[in-house]
Copies of this chain bind each other. A is one copy, B any other.
Amino acid sequence: MKATVIHGPRDIRFEEVPDPTIQKPTDAIVKVHASCICGSDLWPYRGDDETESAHTIGHECLGVVEEVGSGVRDFRPGDFVVVPFDHCDNTCPACLNGAHSACDNFGITKSGQAEYALVTQADGSLVKTDGVPDADLVPSLLALSDVMATGWHAAVAAGVREGGTAVVVGDGAVGLCGVLAAAHLGAETVIAMSRHAPRQELARRFGATHVVAERGKEGVTAVKDILGGVGGDAVLECVGNGPAFEQAFRVARPGATVGFVGVPHGAEAPLRTMFSKNIGLAGGIAPVRRYLPELLQLVLDRVIDPGQVFDLTLPLDQVADGYRAMDERTAIKVLLQP
């Protein structure tokens, strides 16, 4: 099949690789209907994570089941499915505790930006729609495979509550979905920290009541001015690097929780600040499957429309252009069509 392969920093190629095959009875092969590029794909793209040898890349997709292993009970060829980027059995102690992303049988989609993707733990991981969904719903359904579920996890982990206040650090697609999640979960004030006009605009469409363009100390002041002199009840850290972590803790009020979902890169938890201000830190890799049934219904009912994060659609064979656009921040998030 043709698949996206990363060979090294800024070296993305769409090329022939072996087709994925059923390895275990719990596996399924999905023919990719749409996929996309994740902010975390930029870590190896930028060389921040080393690429030791060339490998397929891309972990977000949805599509049609092509083949299932002998142990798969709930899915069969032809089913239209959303593929959570993190596969899980949905039955182990971690899954039962809501930590599907630490499943005893954890797996990950490895060729989402390709013609076919292997899903380990198909029964535990996948959710299906009744037939092929309306085309205009595809972007929002695709967003559920990672970015929307991740933004939602940030909001849940941060303890967003009805009538409370939320501050979102990071205006990437995850941060924007965090805004949507915080608003949907009932936060009365949702502050998006963003410096980019198109992202600010989308944040407002997603329910941000305020946008703060300043960062650092000025950003803290601006947030507190909005919130009557205090920080946020819930803070969503949607980047993962040091400055974002620092910003997040500085805009959190005493007793707040920072929900973090960005892969930590050079970040540290400020233990002394957390101790003196009673600011908690919770989150991690999004347990996508935990939220998927609920989020799927919200999309199908057209209550939420996270697919708006896609502002560039490319044919899959132009995937390298997609990486470039996201790296240069000319696109928020790129949708790829085989």
Across the interface, do A275 and B269 meet the contact criterion of CB distance under 8 Å? no
Query: A60-68, A136-144, A282-290, A310-318: which lies at the B interface?
Result: A282-290
Q: Is the CB of B285 within 8 A of A275?
A: yes
User: Cβ of A278 and Cβ of B272 under 8 Å apart?
Assistant: no
Residue A51 lies at the interface, judged by CB distance under 8 Å to chain B: no
CB pair B93–A277 under 8 Å, yes or no, is no
Q: Is the CB of A102 closer than 8 A to any CB of chain B?
A: yes
Nearest B residue to A275 by beta-carbon distance? B284
Does any Cβ of B come within 8 Å of A111's Cβ?
A: no
Please name all residues of chain B whose beta carbon is closer than 8 Å to the beta carbon of A264 when the two chains form the complex.
271-272, 275
- Residues of B near A278 (CB, < 8 A) are 98-99, 101-102, 157, 282-285, 287
Measured between beta carbons, the chain B residues less than 8 angstroms from A98 are: 255, 278
How many identical chains are in the complex?
2
A257 touches B282 (CB 8 A): yes
Q: List 28 A-B contacts (CB under 8 A).
A: A93-B229, A94-B230, A94-B254, A94-B255, A97-B254, A97-B256, A99-B277, A101-B276, A102-B255, A102-B276, A102-B277, A157-B278, A260-B275, A263-B275, A264-B271, A264-B272, A264-B275, A268-B269, A269-B274, A274-B281, A274-B284, A275-B283, A277-B284, A278-B284, A278-B285, A280-B282, A280-B283, A281-B282
Residues of the B chain whose Cβ atoms lie less than 8 Å from the Cβ of A283: 275, 278, 280
Instruction: For A261, give the chain B residue with the smallest CB separation.
Output: B275
Q: Which residues of A contact B (CB under 8 A)?
A: 93-94, 97-99, 101-102, 157, 228-230, 233, 253-257, 260, 263-264, 267-269, 271-272, 274-285, 287
In the complex, residue of chain B having the shortest beta-carbon distance to the beta carbon of A256? B97
Query: Which single residue of chain B is at the shortest CB-CB distance from A101?
Result: B278
A281:B284 contact, CB within 8 angstroms: no
Q: Whose C-beta in chain B lies nearest to the C-beta of A97?
A: B255
Chain A interface helix/strand/loop/mixed? mixed
Question: A281 vs B98: C-alpha distance in the bound complex, in angstroms?
Answer: 16
Q: Report the minimal beta-carbon distance from A291 to chain B, rounded to whole angstroms.
A: 13
Residues of B within 8 A of A269 (CB): 268-269, 271, 274, 281
A255 CA to B233 CA, complexed, in Å: 21
- Residues in B whose Cβ lies below 8 Å from that of A97: 233, 253-256
> With A and B bound together, what is the CA distance between A255 and B276 in angstroms?
24
Counting from the closest, the 6 A-B pairs by CB-CB distance are A280-B282, A99-B255, A102-B254, A269-B269, A99-B254, A97-B255
CB-CB under 8 A from A281, the residues of chain B are 269, 274, 280-282
Residue of B nearest to A228 (CB): B93
**A15 CB to nearest B CB, Å:** 31
A229 to B104, CA, bound (A): 11
Q: Would you give the shortest CB distance from A225 to chain B, in whole angstroms?
A: 14
How distant is the Cα of A285 from the Cα of B101 in the complex, in angstroms? 31
CA distance A303 to B102 in the complex (A): 39
A99 to B283, CA, bound (A): 21
Contact A271 B267 (CB under 8 A): yes
